[in-house]
Amino acid sequence: MVGKKRRAPRQPKKAAKAGASRRAPRRIKPPYLKSWGAAEVEAAFSRFARASPEPRGELRHRDPYTLLVAVVLSAQATDAGVNKATPALFAAADTPARMVALGEEKVRDFVKTIGLFRGKARNIIALSERLLAEHGGEVPRTRAALEALPGVGRKTANVVLNIAFGEPTIAVDTHIFRVSNRTGLAPGKNPYEVEQALERVIPDRFKRHAHHWLILHGRYVCKARKPECPRCLINDLCRWTEKTI
């Protein structure tokens, strides 16, 4: 019986030249990532101001402390979901002292419908204790002091400073990050870069309300999946190449 024909052994691949590597496809920077000019920024915020002169945040609260608690609860959760849980929580405890007396277990029961509720309940008790021990039960008015509290990061601190104390801070959440990058208003690789870019380009007279205008625009118009470009106030300024108009 004639045996099967043996295949010739595979030749080894040539060694790559020193320093050679597979190159990734060249990424061309989309045109909408080019930042707006001063005139475009002025036009956009003038329109926002005319359409909504006094915008308001949607988290329900009574004072700086309940705002702080609500914002901590809103991390990776919706304002609507937080607003369903906080009325009962604040009826039971609306001051740091009452919250500490309520205790972590009962706080968990009030906020268990909110994502990551266990860690958030723990942080609410811890920050309340810190407020009592270090700030006389009052919410501090500086970013550094706020960020030193358990569960409070830069975004949360900026929200509290803006809404509770009227500071012209800009808290970059997922909506503001999307709007800033998608339109070309203030592109950045991360929330901090976007925040710094917005601080540079937004005229001072608009900074007090810029946070709310951009969040509400991202939440209800420039949405992630189905942006409503035809009713967008700034669609003629937007540099997004996939606009639906």
Distance of alpha carbon 192 from alpha carbon 157, whole angstroms:
13
Q: Which residues contact 231 (CB under 8 A, 6 or more apart)?
A: 221
CA distances from 140 to 2, 6, 155, 210, 224 (A): 91, 82, 15, 22, 34
Per the document, the length of the chain is 245
Distance of alpha carbon 162 from alpha carbon 160, whole angstroms:
5
14 is catalytic: no
109 is catalytic: no
Structure tokens that stand for 226 in this block = 């189905």
Among 109, 112, 155, 207, the one annotated catalytic:
155
Among 106, 109, 120, 173, the one annotated catalytic:
173
Positions annotated as catalytic residues are 155, 173
